[in-house]
Amino acid sequence: MDRLPLSFAPASRRLFAVHSAPSISRRLPNRTPALWSIALLSTHAPTLASRRHRDARTLATTAPPLSRATAAAAAPPPAAAAAPVSTPAESTEDDPLLIYTGPLAPTFRRLKIFSLSSLGLSIALSPFIFLIQSSLPLSARLGLAGIAIGTSGVSTGLVSWCGRPYVTALRRLPPSAIPAPAPDNAPAAKPTSAVLNDNAGIELHTLTLAMRKRITRLYDPAFLTDASRPFAKWELAAHVQLPDNEKSAVTPGMEETVAETLDDSGRVLGRWVVLWGEDGKGECLGIGRIQR
């Protein structure tokens, strides 16, 4: 094969190109037409990179300048001037009647969910103890199923008993929720909705084991006393004694509603009623499902 003279250009201007050489194939008939050769472009010819650079520079100098308004419209908006993302408004404003929020309310909620889930899994998986082939007798399988369900049930019951009196929120009772006193000509034996004094009522929010809200409206906080059961601070008093300056406000045989328990829809579930006797003594009893 004939050697072709090659001229080497500086590295900054060297550009290789691959092309077919039909002239060489005609001069060398015994070579295949698919012969490829590498030729160096002349250093005086403009390279592809310099040509692109020149075209870009020419375009930049010949293009008409953009007006200020067009440039502002074409430029991307800065991050600081980006349109603010609309956020949904708050569902409820700050409650001015709210006094206290239980800090352990989320903890009790998660604990109840875990207890109910474990009880449900124990009940659902207990039949598999009898379906799986094993050398255990039937009595042993019954014992295992009973222990699993019983343990989960006892733990769920303890969680419900301990968390039942926990107050998740404490609010002042709005004046519109305080029942109006009965008229003077009402029979004394019938229960009334009057309160004993002008003390502001309070509203206590609790949760059941199934995470259903219970609202207990206490119309007279004077009926609260220290609780006798664990995991509770207050409870509705079972016996009350009026001071001497208030004994004349009640008559023997008169009944008054002290507190009411409602569900989340406002339906009354139970009442705590006081029955007044002689010398300002009152005996309280619950009617329905009252949250004492």
pLDDT in tens, 249-277: 888 889 999 999 999 898 999 999 999 99
Mean pLDDT of 107-129: 92
Position with higher pLDDT, 227 vs 28 = 227
Q: How confident is the model at residue 142 (pLDDT cuts 50, 70, 90)?
A: very high
Cα(242)–Cα(123) distance, integer angstroms: 52
Q: State what percent of residues in the chain have pLDDT above 90.
A: 35
Mean pLDDT of 42-65: 44
Nearest to 54 by CA among 65, 42, 62: 62
The pLDDT of residue 228: 87
Q: How confident is the model at residue 93 (pLDDT cuts 50, 70, 90)?
A: low
Tell me if 201 sits within 8 A of 178, measured CB to CB: yes
The alpha helices in 127-174, defined as continuous H runs, are 127-131, 138-163
Mean pLDDT of 174-199: 49
Q: Say which range, 32-41, 47-56, 94-103, 261-270, has the weakest mean pLDDT.
A: 32-41
Task: Find the angle CA(15)-CA(16)-CA(18) to the nearest 5 degrees.
Answer: 150
Position with higher pLDDT, 227 vs 34 = 227
Cα(217)–Cα(169) distance, integer angstroms: 12
Task: Find the angle CA(268)-CA(270)-CA(272) to the nearest 5 degrees.
Answer: 125
pTM over 0.85: no
The pLDDT of residue 199: 53
Angle of the 105-125 helix axis to the 138-163 helix axis, nearest 10: 160
The pLDDT of residue 20: 40
The pLDDT of residue 177: 61
The pLDDT of residue 246: 85
Beta pairing, strands 16-20 & 36-40: antiparallel
Mean pLDDT of 44-56: 44
The pLDDT of residue 231: 87
Q: How confident is the model at residue 283 (pLDDT cuts 50, 70, 90)?
A: very high
pLDDT over threshold 50, residue 124: yes
Position with higher pLDDT, 257 vs 28 = 257
The pLDDT of residue 130: 87
Q: How confident is the model at residue 82 (pLDDT cuts 50, 70, 90)?
A: very low
Mean pLDDT of 216-235: 90
Mean pLDDT across the chain: 71
Beta pairing, strands 224-226 & 234-236: antiparallel
Q: Which two tokens stand for residue 178?
A: 């305080």
The pLDDT of residue 24: 36
Q: Say which range, 18-32, 177-191, 242-256, has the weakest mean pLDDT.
A: 18-32
pLDDT in tens, 94-116: 778 888 899 999 999 999 999 99
* Beta bridge pairs of residue 281: 241
